[in-house]
Structure 1
Amino acid sequence: MTETLANVAGFIGMACIIFAYAYTTKLERPNPFVQHGVNLAGAVLLTISLLVHMNPASFVLEFFWMAIAIWGLVKAFRARSTGQ
């Protein structure tokens, strides 16, 4: 992956995470699929960029961010399947 493409992925990932945070803050009852799905996409994109521009602390942070987003998506799917 080129350095430019890594930077683009990182900036798009950052925009996803900022959007998800603003979305969650703005709405009374945000859609968890949007909230956690966009967070997951952002964390994946930032992780890709970190493979080129390694920052170990940020790399670990993105794995926690992905785990929390996946957890949120699993909860949302379970709630939807039980009709909650």
Structure 2
Amino acid sequence: MIDLDIYTLIGFIGMACIIGAYFYLTWKDDPNPFILHGTNLAGAALLTVSLVVHTNWPSLVLEGFWAAIAIWGLWKALRSRKAAR
């Protein structure tokens, strides 16, 4: 039987965020970068919470890169918004 403690449930919510962001990217012709990268960052953060408790090093490192890329995407979107003003 699967042990569904609070950290596993948090991880599932994070997974849903990342899958939702990918679906949004595929669905929209012109996705909002704040929604896309913000949702990816939230998903990476939630999965990281889960992975700190239930450590899986390759997945934990992956989430670090995923979060860094999302932060970079948010930074680029903020920079573009400022340049447009």
Query: Could you state the TM-score of these two structures normalised by the residue count of structure 1?
Result: 0.94
Q: 4+ residue stretches of structure 1 with deviation over 3 A?
A: none
- Aligned residue pair count: 82
In the alignment, structure 2 segments of 5+ residues that lack a partner are: none
Alignment match, 2:56: 55
**Which residue type is aligned with residue 45 of structure 2?**
V
CA shift at 1:71, angstroms?
0.3
Aligned sequence identity (%): 60
Alignment match, 2:16: 15
Alignment match, 2:36: 35
**Which residue type is aligned with residue 30 of structure 1?**
P
**Which residue type is aligned with residue 11 of structure 2?**
G
In the alignment, structure 1 segments of 5+ residues that lack a partner are: none
1-structure distance, mates of 2:10, 2:84: 36
